[in-house]
Amino acid sequence: MNLTPTYGNFVLRGTVVGLADKKAFTEGQTENGKWKRAQFGIKMSENSIVYVELFGSKTSRVKLFKSGTKTDESLTVEWDDLYNSKYNNYRYANQVKINIGLGNISDDLSVIAWDAIEYFEQQLKDGLTVLVKGSLQISEYKGNFQEQFVIRELYTLEKFTYENNHPEAFFSQEIVYVDAVLLNENEGYMLNTRIINRNSNDYDVVPFNFYIYNKDVYEYFKNNVTKGSTLRVHGNILNYVPLKIIDGHKIICGSVVKGLEVTGGNVASINLNRYDLDELVSSNIKGSPFEEDTNINEWGF
């Protein structure tokens, strides 16, 4: 079966938290070279935080790819020669764009992940307001399903307060549709999907469930999308604790709500009956990332 991986992305706006934690910046050594990892939170409201991360490694040589082409044209350079101006027409894997100085767009830096992490260590501070964009990676580990928010862009913004602000935490993800089902009364709906991830030259097929709280969106899936179809959906990243105000005090009134809420999708992206779910098993992945269309209706489809 000819398969294509399903890609996702995210955008967050909030303040940086958690840099004092000993897990915020870690590093180590493998036989292939040194590595660094950054992990910290983005607080979007008084009770909502999403954790983002970035992994980078340092090796003696780096592979660069020709920019602006669809070919695999590439070359390998020494680490110390990575930013030489003669390679301006090339890009490196996991390139990260950053601007932490509230400068204009000409001050943006495009650096390899290792250097971005070092820059975060030196320049980021708890309380800074930032805009973060990146790659949403949905995977399975030891039977547990997890979402990872991998930084690809980070910019500092003017400050804002949490009062009267709805959390700005959004995602977009291509899915293989399985079914949409009603949960218990007043609990909304569950969107059952498959996510296809690259894994070396093979792929992993991950079963993953999204939430739906809008009946119109649920009915669109039930009435218009068939099993095995692919489409791009979008919505809200949920990671908050419910709060109530009692006698003027904010009180936690429930357990953490965590997941991805689908609020719509791209109708032009629908590819009906693309896969036979019974045959969605190990194979080599071929193809390219999903191309998004902007022709949408009132629910984002």
Note the pLDDT of residue 294: 42
pTM for this entry: 0.87
Tell me the average pLDDT across 224-232: 96
| Residue 216: inside a domain | yes
**Domain presence at residue 262:** yes
- Please report whether residue 286 resides in a domain: no
Percentage above 90 pLDDT, the chain: 55
Q: Is 105 or 215 the better-scoring residue by pLDDT?
A: 215
At 165 the pLDDT is 64
Quick one: which of 66, 134, 131, 124 has its CA closest to 96?
134
Per-residue pLDDT of 22-43, as tens digits, reads: 999 999 998 878 999 999 999 9
Cα dist from 160 to 33, 129, 130, 177, 265, whole Å: 40, 7, 10, 38, 29
pLDDT in tens, 275-299: 999 888 644 333 333 333 444 444 4
The mean pLDDT value of the chain amounts to 85
Range of weakest confidence among 98-112, 198-212, 282-296: 282-296
Coil, strand or helix at 279? helix
**Residue 75 scores a pLDDT above 80:** yes
- Tell me the three state secondary structure of residue 86: helix
pLDDT tens digits for 130-166? 999 999 999 887 778 889 999 999 999 887 777 656 7
User: CB neighbours of 34 closer than 8 A, spacing ≥ 6?
Assistant: 27, 28, 57, 58
Nearest to 259 by CA among 233, 229, 232, 235: 235
| The total number of structural domains that make up the chain | 1
Using only C-alpha atoms, what is the Rg of the chain? 21
Residue 286, pLDDT score: 39
The pLDDT value recorded for residue 130 is 94
Residue 295, in any domain of the structure: no
What letter represents residue 152's amino acid? R
Asked if the structure places residue 53 within a domain, the reply is: yes
Q: Rounded distance, CA 95 to CA 201, Å?
A: 22
pLDDT-above-70 percentage for the chain? 87
Residue 274 lies in a domain: yes
User: What is the residue range of 150's domain?
Assistant: 8-279
Structural contact between residues 154 and 54, judged by C-beta atoms closer than 8 angstroms = no
Asked, for residue 205, whether it belongs to a domain, the answer is yes
105 part of a folded domain: yes
